[in-house]
């Protein structure tokens, strides 16, 4: 486990949107190994909502549009998945 000071010193150099995008990308890579479109759709929907509700005062507007796009893609992924 990393000490909180190491994590804090890393996060001070980046915006919240960049950190969320990194966590989203790493989570997507991890979920691709599972091979489940339903879980991937839930992941896209969850992060779409997170990107959408992140305050725009601390975040760039591009992440708002990314959140909207993920919220559109997520139900399509979920419904086209095999059971």
Structural domain includes residue 6:
no
Which pLDDT belongs to residue 6? 87
- Residue 62 covered by a domain: yes
Q: Tokens 């959140």 — which residue?
A: 67
pLDDT recorded at residue 82: 84
Tell me if 56 sits within 8 A of 68, measured CB to CB. no
Domain that includes residue 36, residue range: 16-80
Does 29 map to a domain?
yes
Is residue 40 within 8 Å of residue 32, measured between CB atoms? yes
Polymer length in residues for the chain: 83
Is 21 within a domain?
A: yes
Q: What is the pLDDT along the chain (83 residues), one digit of tens a residue?
A: 778 898 888 888 888 889 899 999 999 999 999 989 999 999 999 999 999 998 877 778 888 999 999 999 999 999 998 86
Count of domains forming the chain: 1
Structure-block tokens of residue 5: 């000071």
**For position 40, what pLDDT does the model report?**
95
The pair phi, psi for residue 12, each rounded to 5°, is: -65, -20
């Amino acid at each position: 486990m990393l000490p909180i000071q190491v994590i804090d010193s890393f996060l001070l150099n980046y915006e919240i949107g960049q950190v969320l995008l990194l966590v989203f990308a790493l989570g997507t890579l991890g979920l691709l190994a599972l091979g489940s479109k339903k879980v991937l759709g839930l992941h896209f929907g969850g992060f779409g909502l997170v990107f959408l509700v992140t305050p725009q005062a601390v975040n760039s507007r591009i992440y708002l549009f990314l959140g909207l796009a993920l919220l559109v893609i997520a139900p399509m992924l979920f419904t086209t998945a095999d059971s």
